[in-house]
Structure 1
């Protein structure tokens, strides 16, 4: 029996929504959060994770869109433990036909789903709940010198954030406010 079920997040075949199987009875349920062998089998790749991160965000906190340059690029496996987010990825792989395209998905703490984001993508999210807790795995250690931020409202990408967002209520770090446009990152040769 498979422990994980995958669905591609269109238009990207490499970005996966992974649903963890639940085993339920009168006590509640049990589900494996992560199993390296099962993950590699369902994802079809050999990504191994070396760092786990936890974040707590208030409603309307927007984080991202983050990535790390090679050779410190990170794949991520994101899971919401509590609350709800609108999770976004942007393809930064210059040679791909999906370069500069984005996709978003709502994830919450009850749907038992994870989002796998491979290297070569920027990642960010908007918290839609008062206390949103995220746990995410990374395939490479954090490297401050390699960290980059793609601006969350870059007009060339035109992400359609959820319409219920009051833009004036967004809570964004100074670092993320200074994110660069896709065109500028391309000029600086900061992409994949």
Structure 2
């Protein structure tokens, strides 16, 4: 697989090398050692989630406070989505920056998000199924929700029919109004035994 750094620091796009034959295809979605070599820290899965969405469904932006935080490996296993990572870490060099990945069930592309990064996606087809491998179990009260339609973020959602959102996502605050809830960049680095002086930018 190829693991490449994204425009948001500590987010990575994982593109598998697909092996086709007369039966279909096989590929490795991720290797623990390969991912750790790039990120500089282990990724241990403690919870696995799935979501099923209709076309035009917009989920997110979702993140977590620290501690405990929650790193994620997100994959579209059916259908197609426009997947977005947003840096929600106050004080980060890429705070408020985003990057976009088209994911679908055919490509096997995944996105890894470290603690403190936010995630959102728009379902481009019906019967979208997303898999989330999470480094921590869900802890009530630690979720951070940001409005995915925040005009200050200006995320590049395609124009078209009105999106379908949960009441919670539709009521989420803009990024500027949620600063008191956001984890700091220093907190997130400390969770991995790093400091700003030792960080040195994207690995």
TM-score for the superposition, normalised by structure 1: 0.88
Matched residue, 1:177: 170
Counterpart mapping for 1:154-165 below 5 A: 154-163=150-159, 165=160
Matched residue, 2:129: 133
Q: 1:7 aligns with which of 4, 10, 23?
A: 4
Q: Describe the shift of the 1:43–1:20 C-alpha distance in structure 2 as closer, same or farther (beyond 3 A).
A: farther
TM-score for the superposition, normalised by structure 2: 0.84
Matched, 1:145 2:141: yes
Q: Tell me the SS of whatever aligns to 1:70.
A: coil
- Cα distance in 1 between the residues matched to 2:29 and 2:15: 10
- Cα distance in 1 between the residues matched to 2:40 and 2:17: 18
Aligned length: 184
Q: CA deviation at 1:49?
A: 1.7
Matched residue, 1:191: 183
Matched residue, 1:27: 23
Q: Tell me the SS of whatever aligns to 1:171.
A: coil
Runs of 4+, deviation exceeding 6 Å? none
Give deviations 1:72-109, integer Å, cap 9, x for gaps. 21111111111000111111122222111122121111
Greater strand share, structure number: 1
Unaligned runs of 5+ in 1: none
Give deviations 1:39-59, integer Å, cap 9, x for gaps. 323444312221111111000
Residues 6 and 43, structure 1, Cα contact 8 Å, conserved in 2 = no
- Cα distance in 2 between the residues matched to 1:41 and 1:35: 10
**Greater shift after overlay, 75-84 or 29-38?**
29-38
